[in-house]
Amino acid sequence: MSAKKKFFAGAGAVAALLTSGAAEAAQPKPWEMNFQPAATDIMRQMTWFEHYTLWFIGPITLLVLALLAYCIIKFRESVNPTPSRTSHNTLIEVIWTVGPVIVLLFIAVPSFQLLTAQYTPTEDPTLTVKATANQWNWDYEYQVDDPLSYNSAILDDGDRAAAGKQDMAVYPRLLTVDHELVVPVNKLTRVLVTATDVIHAFAMPAFGVKTDAVPGRINEVWFKPEKEGLYYGQCSELCGKDHAFMPIAIRVVSDDQYKTWLTAAKADLDGANKALMAEVDGTNKVAAAGN
């Protein structure tokens, strides 16, 4: 195992220890500045890369600010009435050419590695789901024997009681849907994304997943969630007047729970969802994740 993979594995183990016994998924917070807690290895790598690039962005920003302040003070008209006519300086030109090239190399190499990882699944998918975007909801089709299809739309506040989703901590307003996408934990899920009308986007921040849903075209993303819980995303492409009311909810459960739900959902989707909610919410009381 490479040093980089060891780092990510260790970070995942520490995160698991810190979150065990508590809510297994975080929820959006007001004025939040960081990413949502990573629920996949890819998102953990993205978080690492963001922290890594800040070590370059911070000093460069401060350097440019210092140079601007120096030039403003040193070369202001009141103390420098005769401006310099220097056309070039070889040393400075070499520095501002070579310096950025070195910085870009340090950023480019890990970014290419991350991009490669995003497009290179570590294994064959256990589950394939087709997600079709509409104004302003999602159709999900499970590509399994005797396929399961259903629609997922934002849940109106007046329907919360009937759906058993009154707990605002678990089912936040404007992010809760009537039917979540249910997937098994620690299994690779492939999502085929398309649209029926205009361009939308399928985004799940905690998974490190985001791709456009384009009419007449199928884009593919994948994720392998490492923690059970209820995760939220949203359409991330301006798609019309109700763009802000087009959430995505993914419920990650154990493999046994997923298989039981899938069998029951083919006969009675609402009944299967309520049975799964009763089991999961009664034992885990997870919070929402993503934004």
Average pLDDT of 30-43?
A: 88
Q: Are strands 229-234 and 288-289 parallel, antiparallel or unpaired?
A: parallel
Would you say 170 and 288 are in contact if contact means Cβ atoms under 8 Å apart? yes
Asked whether residue 280 carries a pLDDT value surpassing 60, the answer given is: yes
pLDDT tens digits, one per residue of 225-250: 999 999 999 999 999 999 999 999 99
**Which of 65-79, 164-178, 246-260 is predicted most confidently?**
246-260
Question: What crossing angle do the helices spanning 90-118 and 41-74 adopt, rounded to 10°?
Answer: 160
pLDDT, position 94: 92
Q: For the chain, which residues make up each domain, given as ranges?
A: 1-12+34-78+88-120, 127-289
What whole-number percentage of the chain has pLDDT above 90?
67
Which position has the higher pLDDT, 280 or 107? Answer: 107
From the options 2.60.40.420, 3.30.1050.10, 3.40.50.300, 2.50.20.10, give the CATH code of 127-289.
2.60.40.420
pLDDT, position 25: 57
pLDDT, position 145: 87
Distance CA(215)–CA(147), nearest Å, equals 22
The strand pairing partners of 219, in sequence order, are 193
Q: What would the two tokens of residue 190 be?
A: 């492939």
Neighbour count for residue 211 (Cβ, 10 Å): 16
Asked whether residue 10 carries a pLDDT value surpassing 70, the answer given is: no
Asked whether residue 12 carries a pLDDT value surpassing 60, the answer given is: no
pTM: 0.80
Quote the mean pLDDT of the chain: 86
Asked whether residue 69 carries a pLDDT value surpassing 90, the answer given is: yes
Distance CA(253)–CA(101), nearest Å, equals 46
pLDDT, position 237: 94
pLDDT tens digits, one per residue of 183-217: 999 999 999 999 999 999 999 999 999 999 999 99
pLDDT, position 5: 47
Q: How confident is the model at residue 81 (pLDDT cuts 50, 70, 90)?
A: confident
pLDDT tens digits, one per residue of 150-190: 999 999 999 999 988 988 888 998 999 999 999 999 999 99
- Using CA atoms, how far residue 225 sits from 37, 204, 243, in Å, is 12, 11, 26
100-106, long-range: CB < 8 A, 24+ apart: 103/56, 103/60, 106/56
Which position has the higher pLDDT, 85 or 231? Answer: 231
Distance CA(289)–CA(207), nearest Å, equals 10
Q: Are strands 137-142 and 247-253 parallel, antiparallel or unpaired?
A: unpaired
